Chains A and B, each alone.
Chain A
Amino acid sequence: MTDFDVIVVGGGPSGSMAAEAAVKGGAKTLLLEKDRDIGYPVRCGEGVGASGLKQFIEPDPQWIAATISKVRMRSPDNTKVDFGMKDAGYILHRRLFDYALANRAGQAGVEIQTRAYVDGLIVEDDAVKGVKYQYMGENKELTAKIVIAADGVESRVGRMARMRTATKLRDMDSGYQVTVGNVDIDQEMIDFFVGSNWAPGGYLWIFPKGNGMANIGLGVNGAFSKDFNAHDLTHKFLNEHFPKASILTSVCGGIPIAKTLKTITKNGIMLTGDAARMVNPVTGGGIITGMVGGRIAGEVAAAALQTGDLTPHGFKDYPARWQKAEGKTHDGLHRVANAIFDITDDKLNKMAHRLAKIPPDELSLMKIFTAVARQKPSILIDVTRAFAGV
């Protein structure tokens, strides 16, 4: 007998979805969170697409900070390209959103414990059999048939199982974000700045958070991070664009813009969410995709408990379903990210000048891609591959 059938490490959206799916599949499930709070601190721009979100939960005004209908992209010389969105977007209050997901998991029967810092795994016969963790200064152990590691960008639990989770510098954005008040922005618009002046290799975002507030953050690609510092660039931007902004929160964080890890299962363990690198390699968005991965992991874990095959063979539906749902697209988007990586500021400006002449309602993502392709024809192949999944 084990203490639990499934132990999920990490109480973010991916972990909560995994735990909820496992318990609904009949598994006795425990969710461990290292911090004192589920959902805090928030290291996230908090943007999601409406249709993606609705697969999992009905939007609740309590945790929707702003509803988005417009996008603005700015080139390095600050030429604005505006366009509408087919699918509405939301900026969340992650603090409350993560709470809602964990609460729902709890209501479904998941046991939840905070302040539980996992610092080791119980391993027998090359299989993970549980976790070692610290709670209030005491060392504890719990056995489980399956551990699901949803421990975020650090992804240390996977390493404890000798899985390869270390991410290349080029596949990591070094991020910094402030939540500010007293800024006069369009609360229905997300605003992106591309080019080397604010976020070399990445982008800067302004996401509205309601009541005159916004998340303003940026990611510097790891390859440029030796010479450009995310914190310093963020503050430089604030001084130039929003000198009167009051800073209400400031956080930093890494954005893994890698392909999904090659191996996301091993005997007795599955990785999911940021820990498995299930983040969109172009946008850096990982909330919904992490929930997709988490739910599949939990469902497959519950099914594997029925068969008793707790090896990668027994878990094989997890990587297969993930690849079909998002993984293949991410592989293609990773190629797109590489293709647009070295487009110069000068070329970005030229593209923006051309696109800015097109009225926003006539501007589509396809037209933007066409403009990019003119500067860099090889990207067409990558984009086609991304969406055809080859």
Chain B
Amino acid sequence: MILVKDNRCDFCGTCVAVCPVDAIELREADISIIHDTCIDCDICIWVCPIDVLSSDDKKEEVKHD
């Protein structure tokens, strides 16, 4: 699951632009992940210029099981 760090986002929309499934809602000063739509590809985490997003690493837990 993609997590949003509190009080860090600059609302620039770079993550929105690369999200392949349109799972990020962004307005003037508010960002949220639509978890039902999100496919946990993590590219939003990488492309964010200021490290706002992170993963709770559920995928990796599954991998190691």
Bound state CA distance, A198 and B28, in angstroms? Answer: 30
Residues from chain B with a CB closer than 8 A to the CB of A300 are none
Chain A min CB distance to B58 (Å): 19
The answer to the question of A36 belonging to the interface, with a C-beta cut-off of 8 Å to chain B, is: yes
Kindly identify which residue among A156, A225, A251 contacts B47, using a CB–CB cutoff of 8 Å: A225
Bound complex: CA of A225 vs CA of B47, how far in Å?
5
A229 & B17 in contact (Cβ 8 Å cutoff): no
**Contact of B43 with A by CB under 8 A:** yes
Q: Which residues of B contact A153 (CB under 8 A)?
A: 12-14, 16-17
* Minimum distance in angstroms from A153 CB to a CB of chain B: 5
A-B contact count (CB 8 A): 89
Cβ of B49: which chain A residues have Cβ within 8 Å of it? 174-176, 220, 229-231, 252-254
- B26–A154 contact, CB under 8 A? yes
* Pairwise interchain contact B28-A174, C-beta atoms closer than 8 A: no
A168-B12 in contact given A117-B28, A176-B50, A225-B47 (Cβ < 8 Å): no
Whether a CB of chain A sits under 8 angstroms from the CB of B38 is: no
Per the 8 Å Cβ criterion, residues 129-180 of A in contact with B are: 134, 152-156, 159, 165-169, 172, 174-176
Interface membership of A186, Cβ < 8 A: no
Q: Which residue of B lies closest to A165 (CB)?
A: B17
The number of residues on chain A lying at the interface, defined by a beta carbon within 8 Å of a beta carbon of chain B, is 35
Q: Would you call B63 an interface residue if the criterion is a C-beta within 8 Å of the partner chain's C-beta atoms?
A: no
A168 contacts B18, C-beta separation under 8 Å: yes
B64 at the interface (CB under 8 A from A): no
Expressed in whole angstroms, the Cα–Cα distance for A174 and B15 within the complex equals 9
Restricting to B22-39, which residues have a CB under 8 Å from any CB of A?
22, 26-28
Distance in Å: Cβ of A225 to nearest Cβ of chain B: 5
Q: A252-B10, A253-B12 are in contact. Are A166 and B17 (CB under 8 A)?
A: yes
Contact status A159-B48, CB under 8 Å: no
A156 and B28 contact, CB distance less than 8 A: no
Contacting pair B27 A231 (CB below 8 A): no
Q: Taking each of A117, A152, A155, A254, which has the highest tally of chain B beta carbons within 10 Å of its own beta carbon?
A: A254
* B19, CB-defined interface residue at 8 Å: yes
Q: Let me know if B51 is at the binding interface, CB within 8 A.
A: yes
Closest to B28 in A: A35
Closest to A227 in B: B46
Q: Are the C-beta atoms of A34 and B27 separated by less than 8 Å?
A: yes
CB A45 to nearest CB in B, in angstroms, measures 14
CA distance A168 to B47 in the complex (A): 11
Report B's interface with A, CB cutoff 8 A: 10, 12-14, 16-20, 22, 26-28, 43, 46-51
- Nearest 9 pairs between A and B by C-beta? A254-B14, A154-B13, A252-B49, A230-B49, A226-B46, A154-B16, A253-B12, A225-B46, A176-B49
Q: Report 8 cross-chain contacts, Cβ distance below 8 Å, ordered by A residue.
A: A134-B27, A153-B14, A154-B16, A165-B17, A166-B18, A169-B18, A222-B47, A254-B14
Which residues does A use to contact B, with CB under 8 Å?
34-36, 43, 115, 117, 119, 134, 152-156, 159, 165-169, 172, 174-176, 220, 222, 225-226, 229-231, 251-254, 256
